[in-house]
């Protein structure tokens, strides 16, 4: 049986295909359209999934949408009525869009399916709808390696739910408690994302990265004035400080007055206030997550926890949750945001609608390392590179790995495109920019000269699984870069008193360990453990780098520049390579050296990024 899951029309639209419960393919639409967080119908993602499965459209048994549009419309309408007459402007703008498109989403979906797949198939008979948080919960539990588990989902808002607690056993999954809109830890975090000058639904991870530069001096004020937290972790927002329920912004003047002024303008200089605000909302989020988890463990008696929803991408909170040892085991869906809803929707139909026996992977999980996207063979790589005017050389796998490991050891910045593309927001060694973590200047160089993004942003270490505990205060699997842990004390550099007295961004240029490029200002690192069975070539590369340098770690960041999705095709990779200060590009067995490329071509691509 073939089930196609779809998420769309809000942000990060995606498609996923499962066959008899096995995950065959999954991808986000943004990777094909090159429009970051693309919310449109996932035409390209669907076509890719069918191509990967070698499936004709008429052999799709069900298409399932990840949420229920009528319930979402009900929430919107009831919210406006509850807050009336506040929010009339927002209501006036939103209603025509809902009445024209979103309220009749079933007919829109059928129309788009016909356009994408087949006009003659009766999609109305095949179309099903899941619920937003059930889709998240299903994406968390069913691919996990646990026979039973407590399931926690946290995000901004689905139809009504912002937080849900569920219990998964075998093929059954039951939601046991919910917190409803407008009370949302995801929207609270987004409010501070907006207030500190970053973009909502994409800048939250910047707030998390900024937090260690500040002190949580506003945490008590947040809990005293705008957020009431109970012992079981449930919470309630004072909506008089917010405008997201009915307005056009996240916060209002009352919020601004409480925290000492208007929101930071995007691209304005970051001040200590923004750093302290980031530290404060991060600390409050961690407190809520820990309290909820403690209560969930108490209520369910489960020793395993599964997480999904946008807040589950907060790897700092996840790391604290792991260290608190509330649960014996934690598994987090790598595509925890709305894109992963496509996967959860498909799985929920297979296990709940059709009541099929559950398959539990004998490995870490059934996500296949999250390498579920497109890959390209030698013929396709050569054709695309030649069409771009690239100069390249083909090597054996052993030669390629040796050459790239040498380039890493020589402090080169490298674009690494290998195998299937990752599903989810993290590059995991399929579409990565990699570098030497021992370099004290690499973090700043990659941020400013390659990624074209804020200098404070940290980078993650990809480390061989067997070596992780030697370098970090961590000794479990973290294949999806969703857990933060501290660098081991014997790898840290002792700070001088003068260095300890530095504030804010001044801390950035002080090396903190023997691997400074992946060590954040608080000695933490967002760890990715690399495993031979899910990404053998990446594993072999790091092993070769270790052989040459005695360091089993490399810098890993997503292969893209600021404002652009992660690369998908060889053409995307070449454009990014030529338009930035990357030194080397490895695609499959093909190696490209920047100095060997046409200088006029380099200028062309650099100019295209300036125009973008």
Q: CA–CA distance from 387 to each of 44, 137, 576, 595 (Å)?
A: 22, 44, 15, 19
Bin 563: left if φ > 0, else alpha if -120 < ψ < 50, else beta: left
Q: Which pLDDT tens digit goes with each residue over 338-348?
A: 999 999 999 99
Q: Of the spans 9-13, 62-66, 510-514, which averages the highest pLDDT?
A: 62-66
- Sheet of strand 127-129: strand arrangement: 22-28, 14-19, 2-7, 62-65, 127-129
Q: At what angle do helices 88-97 and 69-83 cross, to 10 degrees?
A: 160
pLDDT of residue 93: 58
Does residue 88 or residue 274 have the better pLDDT? 274
E strand segments, 159-255: 161-169, 172-180, 227-229, 235-237
Mean pLDDT of 473-499: 93
Confidence check: pLDDT of 79 > 60: no
Annotate 263-315 with DSSP letters as a single string.
PPPTTSPP-HHHHHHHHHHHHHHHHHHHHHHHHHHHHH--SEEEEESGGGG-H
pLDDT at residue 251 is higher than 60: yes
Mean pLDDT of 346-361: 96
Q: Which residue has the higher pLDDT, 603 or 590?
A: 590
Average pLDDT score over residue span 400-418: 98
Residue 351 near residue 142, CB atoms below 8 Å: yes
* pLDDT at 119 (0 to 100): 80
Per-residue pLDDT for 246 more than 90?
Answer: no
Which pLDDT score is estimated for 477?
A: 96
Q: What is the mean pLDDT of residues 260-283?
A: 94
pLDDT value of position 101: 55
- Contacts of residue 68, defined as CB under 8 A and 6 or more positions apart, other chains included, come to 129, 130, 131, 132, 159
Domain positions in the chain are 378-611
Count CA atoms closer than 13 A to 7's CA, side-chain side: 34
- pLDDT score for 371: 98
Residue 506, pLDDT score:
75
For 184-193, write each residue's pLDDT tens digit. Answer: 999 999 999 9
Task: Name the pTM for this structure.
Answer: 0.93
pLDDT at 90 over 70: no
- CATH fold, domain 378-611, is DHBP synthase (3.90.870)
Ranges 90-99, 223-232, 368-377: which has the least confidence: 90-99
Q: What mean pLDDT comes out for the span 450-477?
A: 90
Percent of the chain at pLDDT exceeding 70: 93
In which order are the strands placed within the sheet that holds 590-593? 393-394, 590-593, 584-587, 414-417, 431-435, 553-558, 460-464, 524-530, 483-486
Q: How far apart are alpha carbons 94 and 99 in whole angstroms?
A: 9
Is cis: bond before 182, omega within 30 of 0? yes
């Amino acid at each position: 049986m073939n089930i196609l899951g779809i998420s769309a029309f809000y942000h990060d639209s995606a498609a996923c295909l499962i066959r008899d419960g096995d995950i065959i393919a999954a991808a986000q639409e943004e990777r094909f359209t090159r429009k970051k967080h693309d919310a449109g119908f996932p035409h390209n993602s669907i076509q890719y999934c069918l191509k990967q499965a070698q499936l004709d459209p008429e052999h799709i048994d069900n298409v399932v949408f990840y949420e229920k549009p009528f319930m979402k419309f009900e929430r919107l309408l009831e919210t406006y009525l509850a807050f009336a007459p506040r929010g009339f402007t927002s209501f006036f703008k939103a209603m025509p869009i809902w009445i024209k498109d979103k309220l009749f989403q079933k007919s829109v979906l059928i129309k788009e399916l016909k356009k994408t797949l087949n006009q003659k198939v009766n999609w109305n008979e095949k179309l099903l709808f899941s619920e937003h948080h059930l889709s998240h919960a299903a994406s968390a539990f069913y691919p996990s390696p646990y026979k039973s588990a407590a399931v926690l989902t946290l995000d901004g808002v689905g139809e009504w739910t912002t937080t849900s607690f569920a219990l998964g056993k075998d093929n059954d999954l039951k939601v046991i408690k919910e917190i409803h809109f407008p009370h949302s830890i995801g929207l609270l975090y987004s409010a501070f994302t907006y207030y500190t000058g970053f973009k909502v639904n994409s800048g939250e991870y910047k707030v998390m990265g900024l937090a260690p530069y500040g002190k949580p001096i506003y945490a008590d004020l947040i809990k005293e004035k705008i957020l009431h937290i109970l012992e079981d972790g449930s919470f309630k927002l004072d909506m008089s400080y917010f405008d997201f329920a009915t307005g056009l912004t996240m916060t209002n003047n009352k919020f601004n007055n409480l925290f000492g002024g208007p929101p930071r303008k995007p691209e304005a200089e970051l001040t200590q206030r923004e750093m302290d605000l980031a530290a404060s909302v991060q600390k409050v989020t961690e407190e809520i997550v820990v309290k909820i988890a403690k209560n969930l463990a108490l209520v369910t008696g489960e020793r395993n926890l599964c997480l999904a929803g946008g807040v589950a991408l907060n790897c700092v909170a996840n790391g604290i949750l792991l260290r608190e040892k509330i649960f014996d085991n934690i598994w987090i869906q790598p595509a925890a945001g709305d894109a992963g809803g496509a996967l959860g929707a498909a799985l929920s139909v297979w296990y709940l609608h059709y009541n099929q026996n559950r398959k539990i992977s004998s490995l870490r999980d059934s996500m296949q390392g999250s390498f579920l996207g497109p890959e390209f063979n030698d013929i396709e790589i050569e054709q695309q590179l030649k069409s771009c005017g690239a100069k390249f050389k083909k090597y054996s796998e052993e030669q390629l790995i040796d050459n790239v490991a040498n380039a890493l050891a020589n402090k080169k910045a490298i674009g690494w495109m290998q195998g299937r593309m990752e599903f989810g927001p993290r590059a995991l060694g399929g579409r990565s920019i990699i570098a030497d973590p021992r370099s004290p200047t690499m973090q700043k160089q990659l941020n400013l000269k390659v990624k074209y993004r804020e200098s404070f942003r940290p980078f993650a270490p990809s480390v061989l699984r067997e070596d992780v505990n030697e370098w970090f205060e961590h000794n479990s699997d973290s294949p999806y870069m969703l857990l933060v842990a501290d660098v081991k004390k014997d790898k840290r550099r002792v700070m001088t008193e003068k260095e300890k007295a530095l504030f804010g961004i001044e801390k950035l240029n002080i090396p903190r360990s023997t691997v400074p490029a992946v060590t954040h200002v608080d000695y933490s690192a967002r760890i990715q453990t690399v495993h031979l069975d899910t990404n053998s070539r990446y594993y072999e590369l790091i092993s070769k780098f270790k052989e040459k340098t005695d360091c089993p770690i490399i810098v890993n960041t997503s292969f893209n520049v600021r404002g652009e999705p992660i690369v998908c095709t060889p053409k995307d990779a070449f454009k990014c390579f030529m338009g930035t200060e990357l030194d080397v590009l490895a695609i499959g067995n093909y190696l490209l050296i920047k100095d060997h490329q046409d200088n006029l071509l380099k200028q062309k691509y650099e100019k295209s990024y300036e125009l973008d």
